[in-house]
Amino acid sequence: MSSPQSEKRSKLPVSLTAAAVLLALALPAPASALTMPPPPVEVPDTQPIVRLARAELEKKVAERRSNNVPRYRNGKGRVAPYSIRDQWCVAFTTWVWNRNGFDDYLGTRYLRRSRDRTTVAIQVTDMTRWAKQYGYFSYRARPGFAVVYGGNHMGIVRKIDRDGRAVRSIEGNKSDRVRSVNVPMDEVTGYISPFAIFPALKVARSSKFADVD
């Protein structure tokens, strides 16, 4: 019959093994694991935003005599649903977002009801402030994002030309119309996402992956 002391000694290696396993789990991952790329994330589909913006472009939306009231058929048709009877580049962008189910921008400060009663944002600086504060601002472009440039203008990113260092956008209130615009990246302030930016999608301004110059 074994003594209590010998039984205690026989259990000791098992206890040490368990402790070693727990310690290994608690230690930080090796450097090689920390430098691995982040796991893929499911990014919301923003292509419908681009398709709707392109559909509005094809309707030849224009003002009459620079009166801030966009109308279809080169200014001869009915008033566009995103009209706010004021500067309307932000209203156009957020109306298109809203129609595709992206309405986080409703957290901005300055909002207004458009012609079709959609609540839209109306100010570039307010949108930019909100985006930076709450994680919607990006230096990496994606189709469907808003491109902010020229100090006080925005449009919807349609395509990114990284070789030519430009983004192609569809914009409201560009020379009194909905227009397709080529925006050089050296004029871009940044981009605003219609959804909160995932950590895996964040890019620093100084990064080689940034779409600003």
Cα 53–82–139 angle (5° rounding)? Answer: 50
What is the percentage of the chain residues whose pLDDT exceeds 90? 77
- The model carries a pTM of 0.80
Q: Which amino acid is at 208?
A: K
Nearest-angstrom CA–CA distance, 115 and 188? 30
Nearest-angstrom CA–CA distance, 142 and 76? 34
- pLDDT single digits (tens) 65-92: 999 999 999 999 999 999 999 999 999 9
Average pLDDT, the chain: 87
> What SS3 state is found at 138?
strand
Q: In the chain, which residues have pLDDT < 70?
A: 1-41
